[in-house]
């Protein structure tokens, strides 16, 4: 049983307000999850029914060779169907991937007060935020996850304020990943018949956030979620996961014998990165690329880390379906808005599948 002070409000205060996180709670020695973490039956994840999405990673080095067009088609098809794919030869050195996982484990392995120093209100910079779950104040059931979020402004700011346990490797990950993101974006936008110059692309991915997620071991994985059903808000997400597994994506349509609505697992592949389409790219492409709904399970045997980079438009950017695509489609499926409004809406609601996109729908 949870120690008795971990009931109701005192649990919330201990885990959320005081910054002990799920990790701090687990370290007290729990034999079962507190009520606040028990998901309603329809949100629980049936591990035994998982279908594995075992497509091999797309080899990005082939973009520079004779198979260029084939690889472009492969990337576009993945973005149009599942909205998730894995990439190899992506330009992020393998030792950076290993050091990132070590850095995340190191950061979260620290005593709670070291991490709590980055809580909102305590953090030395508004760009660095340590927390737990997604929007705990709004959630009926909390997510079994702690995180540190680092918003990139400049190298100097990152060197000054990002936690020393992770800043050098997180910056190297960001620098090398962004080259790949630009390439992928050129490919995907190009496939829509649109050419964007570098300054247009800069506006679309003007905000970059590196997160480190930590999912502690959980005594009742069948009752909880690491992250609930959601889509990502930005353009493209780059994700490094460790070897534990547990990332699931919902099929938006039937492909390769998998039914619409099935949840497929994106298995860990050593050295590969996961790429997924976010809401903004779905909107820009007028619905052609899919911002897939995804979620993460917990496990009772080992903690898990994942390290996403979210590439997001500048808050002042006007976002809407690209005019050339609308012209071809004959209909605009989304309206135009200033991205800050989308962000405000996204962060003021608990995860609820693809509901975040409703904000942009043309009615």
Residue of 191, 182, 169 whose CA lies nearest to 235: 182
- Contacts (CB under 6 A) with ligand AKG, residues 327-346: none
* 311: partner contacted, choices Fe ion, ligand AKG, none (Cβ within 5-8 A by kind): none
Out of 232, 242, 265, 317, which residue is the one contacting Fe ion (CB under 5 A)? Answer: 232
**x/- contact string, 270-309, with Fe ion (CB under 5 A)?**
----------------------------------------
Report in angstroms how near the CB of residue 298 gets to ligand AKG at its nearest: 11
| Token digits of residue 260 | 């619409």
Binding of residue 280 to ligand AKG (CB under 6 A): no
Footprint (CB under 6 A) of ligand AKG, residues 26-55? none
Stretch that binds Fe ion, among 84-92, 204-212, 225-233, 348-356 (CB under 5 A): 225-233
C-beta neighbour count of 252 within 10 angstroms: 17
Q: Which residue is nearest to ligand AKG (CB)?
A: 306
Q: What's the rounded Cα separation, in Å, for the pair 203 and 159?
A: 24
Q: Of 21, 52, 67, which is closest to residue 249 (Cα–Cα)?
A: 52
- Rule CB under 6 A: say whether 311 interacts with ligand AKG: no
Beta carbon nearer to Fe ion, 166 or 236:
236
Q: Does 294 bind ligand AKG (CB under 6 A)?
A: yes
Q: Which CB, 232 or 242, lies closer to Fe ion? A: 232
Residues in the chain: 363
Instruction: Tell which positions 215-254 bind ligand AKG, by CB under 6 A.
Output: 227, 232, 239, 241, 247
242: left (phi over 0), alpha (psi -120 to 50) or beta: beta
d(CA 326, CA 341): 22
Contacts of 300 (CB under 8 A, 6+ apart): 217, 218, 219, 220, 221
> What is the distance between the alpha carbons of residues 139 and 285, in angstroms, rounded to a whole number?
31
241 binds, among ligand AKG, Fe ion, none (CB under 5 to 8 A by kind): ligand AKG
Told to check if 213 binds ligand AKG by CB under 6 A, we report yes
Tell me how far apart the alpha carbons of residues 11 and 285 are, in angstroms, rounded to a whole number. Answer: 43
Residues in the site for ligand AKG, rule: CB under 6 A? Answer: 211, 213, 227, 232, 239, 241, 247, 294, 296, 306, 308
Residues in the site for Fe ion, rule: CB under 5 A? Answer: 232
């Amino acid at each position: 049983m949870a120690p008795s002070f971990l009931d109701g409000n005192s649990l919330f205060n201990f885990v959320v307000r005081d910054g002990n996180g799920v990790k701090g709670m687990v370290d007290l020695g729990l034999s079962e999850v507190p009520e606040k973490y028990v998901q309603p039956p329809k949100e629980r994840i049936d591990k035994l029914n998982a279908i594995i999405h075992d497509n091999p990673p797309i080899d990005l080095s082939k973009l520079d060779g004779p198979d260029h067009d084939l690889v472009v088609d492969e990337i576009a098809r993945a973005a149009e169907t599942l909205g998730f794919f894995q990439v190899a030869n992506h330009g992020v050195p393998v030792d950076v991937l290993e050091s990132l996982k070590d850095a995340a484990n190191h950061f979260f392995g620290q005593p709670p007060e070291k991490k709590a120093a980055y809580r909102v209100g305590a953090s030395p910079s508004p760009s660095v935020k340590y927390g737990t779950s997604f929007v705990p104040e709004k959630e009926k059931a909390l997510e079994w996850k702690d995180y540190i979020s680092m918003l990139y402004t400049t190298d100097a700011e990152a060197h000054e304020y990002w936690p020393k346990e992770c800043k050098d490797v997180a910056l190297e990950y960001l620098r090398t990943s962004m080259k790949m993101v630009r390439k992928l974006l050129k490919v995907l936008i190009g496939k829509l018949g649109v050419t964007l110059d570098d300054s247009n692309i800069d506006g679309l991915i003007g905000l970059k956030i590196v997160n480190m997620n930590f999912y502690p071991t959980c005594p009742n994985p069948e009752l909880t979620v690491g992250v609930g059903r959601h889509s990502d808000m930005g353009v493209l997400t780059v994700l490094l996961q460790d070897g534990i597994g547990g990332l699931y994506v919902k099929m938006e349509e039937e492909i390769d014998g998998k039914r619409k609505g099935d949840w497929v697992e994106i298995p860990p592949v050593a050295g590969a990165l996961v790429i997924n389409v976010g809401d903004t790219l779905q909107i820009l492409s007028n619905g052609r690329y899919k911002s897939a709904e995804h979620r993460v399970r917990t496990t009772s045997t080992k903690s898990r880390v994942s390290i996403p980079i979210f590439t997001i438009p500048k808050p002042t950017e006007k976002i809407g379906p690209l005019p050339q695509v609308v012209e071809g489609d004959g209909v605009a499926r989304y309206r135009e808005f200033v991205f800050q409004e989308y962000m405000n809406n996204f962060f003021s609601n608990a995860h609820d599948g693809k509901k975040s996109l409703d904000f942009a729908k043309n009615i």
